[in-house]
Amino acid sequence: MLGGVEQTLANPVHCRGIGLHSGRPVDLVLRPAAAGTGVLFVRTDTGTEVRFPARAEWVVNTTLATTLGSQGETLATIEHLLAALRGMGVDNCTIEVDGPEVPIMDGSAAPFVYLITQAGLRPQRRMRRRLVIRKPIEVRDGNRWARVTPSRDFKLSVEIDYPHPAIGRQVLGGIRVTPRMFAREIAPARTFGFLKDVQQLQSVGLALGGSLHNAIVLDDERIMNREGLRFPDEFGRHKLVDLIGDLALLGLPLQGHVKAVRSGHALHHALVAEIRANPGCWTVEVPGESVAVPGEPLRARLPGLRPAG
């Protein structure tokens, strides 16, 4: 997922779902995009099309979900679709949405993985750039924290700890994310919510589309979904989905090990902002090109130059 050439979809693909907050139907079209485009959302219901590049500088809200803003319009709940694109190794894609939120589908990234698989992947004539972490970067909020350290791969560790008998403490460590394992082990993990929170949100006109069809819902003691869980640690795995989607807003694949403890969207975005604010802690690498790396002598990486003697 880190090396090789950039990829886009081989064909356009379409689906329809409902918006988590509005409860209304939303049409979603994923289209191939030129090399170097990145992921670009387009709202098609706003008269003139409003474009939302999937990058950190366009994020306007991180409560409950990740929301992008552009030209006075917003687009919410982008993170599970972004996770699917990054997880499956799609670098360039244009996404058309005819409403203010990406459809929630079943609350996981699996329906988007299915769409991407149906569309197929097409390699492009551009080497994939990647953001390589050279020095640790950390953000903290009380006992919640997120840290990225140098690594040879894109690796994730998460820890969640909810004082609820059906969740508790769940630790997933050193997960090396590849498309195959993402599709099987991470993407199907659904989002979750507590019944009392859902009721509270619905009383103020939010989460109107929220149901047992698109989330794991918990009352004070147990899981209310009849079918139960997809994995014993589905809650922790969904944290991986959110983290992959939020890190995708860096705009480049990340080479580093991210560890997130009791994190949420706000902390993930704080880490992304801290990475962007500290260019001395990372380099952008293009396979096959010589790049100066802090801490290493430049001549050792330039062809034709040899140390004297």
Which residues form the catalytic set?
A: 265
Residue entry with tokens 């994190």: 263
Task: Count CB atoms within 10 A of the CB of residue 157.
Answer: 17
Residue 302 is encoded by which pair of tokens?
A: 């330039």
- Distance separating alpha carbons of residues 28 and 171, to the nearest angstrom: 34
- Distance separating alpha carbons of residues 298 and 304, to the nearest angstrom: 12
Min dist CB 164 to Zn ion, Å, is 17
Residue 114 is encoded by which pair of tokens?
A: 């299915």
Q: Which residue, 92 or 108, has its beta carbon nearer to Zn ion?
A: 108
Q: Which residue, 242 or 285, has its beta carbon nearer to Zn ion?
A: 242
Min dist CB 80 to Zn ion, Å, is 6
Q: Which residue, 67 or 191, has its beta carbon nearer to Zn ion?
A: 191
Q: Which residue, 48 or 63, has its beta carbon nearer to Zn ion?
A: 63
Task: Count CB atoms within 10 A of the CB of residue 151.
Answer: 17
Q: Which residue, 92 or 191, has its beta carbon nearer to Zn ion?
A: 191
Residue entry with tokens 């922790």: 236
Min dist CB 35 to Zn ion, Å, is 29
Residue 97 near residue 112, CB atoms below 8 Å: no
CA 123 to chain centre: 21
Residue 120 near residue 10, CB atoms below 8 Å: yes
Strand pairing category for 39-43 and 93-97 = parallel
Min dist CB 190 to Zn ion, Å, is 8
Q: Which residue, 8 or 191, has its beta carbon nearer to Zn ion?
A: 191
Strand pairing category for 5-9 and 67-70 = unpaired
Min dist CB 30 to Zn ion, Å, is 19
Q: Which residues pair with 5 in a beta bridge?
A: 127
Residue 235 near residue 167, CB atoms below 8 Å: yes
Where on the chain is the footprint of Zn ion (CB under 5 A)?
Answer: 191, 242
Min dist CB 241 to Zn ion, Å, is 6
CA dihedral sign, ordered 225, 227, 233, 235: negative
